[in-house]
Amino acid sequence: MAHLISIVGPTAAGKTALSLKLAGGYAAPIVSADSVQVYRGLDIGSGKIRPEEMQGVPHYLLDVRDPDTDFSAGEYGRTVDALLEELFAQHPVVLLVGGAGFYFQAVWEGFDEMPAIKPGVREALNAEWKAGGLAPLGEELAAADPATWATIDRNNPMRILRALEVWRSAGRPISYYRGRRPPKLKSYTDLKVGIEVERSILYARIERRVEAMLAAGWLAEVEEVARLHGLDCKGLQSLGYRELVRYRRGELTWEDAVAQIKQNTRRYAKRQMTWFRRDPAIRWFGAEDGAALLDWVAVEMAK
RNA sequence: ACCCAGAUAGUUCAGUGGUAGAACCUCUGACUCCAAAUCAGAUGGCGUGGGUUCAAUUCCUACUCUGGGUG
């Protein structure tokens, strides 16, 4: 039986080192589960592994997009599903490593089948939202899809915009598409391990990591991406990059930009932990418990 | 040393003679195709002593501390 070993955890927890250790033992390729590392040129600030650090282990889903193009969890899930089929033809074990909970969900459970969004619909919605606020869009959704309106987070623009883009594209409410997904058929078993770091230690590591990234030329990286794709491009809206863009525009002092990057990275780490904690299938290990993790994986795979 | 201003949540600040609010931080949570995105909730406070008053965080006063000015 083939095994997909997922390694999850907050940013700066030490996933990369552990994944290499595990990959070496099983001759397993690594698939990245990271929504920023998919972009070419976003290297330093996304903590992307460098080719010379890969120890010969093939890595997938890195550098698959230009920073001015959209990507999504759905597209990620479909891409990885197809990729896993190929990889499992060659390897008994594949690693899925990252911190993007939503992307893991796309692979672990998948999403209900949704219609494609018509070109221009999202842009139009975003423009309407910016011009007229959320209220009119909420009214449109309430009229078009009372079932969704009853349960949706009405303060959350992204949720309302998503529901409406489906409605406007397909002429059917998003609630129509929900809940009709058959169980995901998989040719492999899922093994999930999490890397856990005490909050205060993790925060200290984030602090150091941000400093190291800046020292390694993060700002220059932003300049280069901006030169190629513009300051407004999708990739530069990611955590850390957006603060450096604001510094570049003169909206933030350097000190404030750096402080906000650290602050927002801490908040992100917290959200990651909230996300992963709710999955009881994840087995947690301390960052220094690599040996125990390897043992546990070996035992589980033998079952 | 003297004069002035100030002292309210971890921080920056509002405010009231009937024991107080915000923002940020911190903590917790949500998440079905923008997710490193977006959103929700919770914890937490009137510098110290004395006085006036039915009642003081609020008024008076002393002290302590902070900032500014003068010397």
pLDDT in tens, A201-245: 999 999 999 999 999 999 999 999 999 999 999 999 999 999 999
CA of A17 to C1' of B17 (A): 64
How far CA A197 is from CA of A35, A99, A204, A281, in Å, comes to: 22, 14, 11, 18
CA of A259 to C1' of B12 (A): 16
Per the CB < 8 A criterion, the answer to whether A206 and A154 are in contact is no
pLDDT in tens, A88-137: 999 999 999 999 999 999 999 999 999 999 999 999 999 999 999 999 99
Please count the other Cβ atoms lying within 10 Å of the Cβ belonging to residue A188: 17
For strand B, the positions having any atom within 7 A of a protein Cβ are 24-40
Euclidean distance between CA atoms A60 and A4, whole angstroms: 14
CA of A6 to C1' of B32 (A): 20
Q: Which of residues 131-150 of A touch strand B (CB under 7 A)?
A: none
Query: Hey, what's the torsion of the CAs at A52, A92, A3, A29, to 10 degrees?
Result: 10
Give me the pLDDT at residue A184, please: 86
**For residue A178, what are its two tokens?**
């929900």
A19 contacts: CB under 8 Å, gap ≥ 6: A7, A30, A95, A97
A149 contacts: CB under 8 Å, gap ≥ 6: A138, A141, A142
With a 7 Å cutoff on the CB, does A66 touch strand B?
no
Give me the pLDDT at residue A107, please: 98
pTM over 0.90: yes
Euclidean distance between CA atoms A51 and A262, whole angstroms: 26
- The mean per-residue pLDDT over the stretch A173-193 comes to 91
Q: Is A151 exposed, middle or buried (0-12, 13-18, 19+ CB in 10 A)?
A: exposed
Per the CB < 8 A criterion, the answer to whether A290 and A21 are in contact is yes
pLDDT in tens, A248-285: 999 888 988 999 999 999 999 999 999 999 999 999 99
Euclidean distance between CA atoms A206 and A14, whole angstroms: 11
Taking all residues of chain A, what is their mean pLDDT, rounded to a whole number? 96
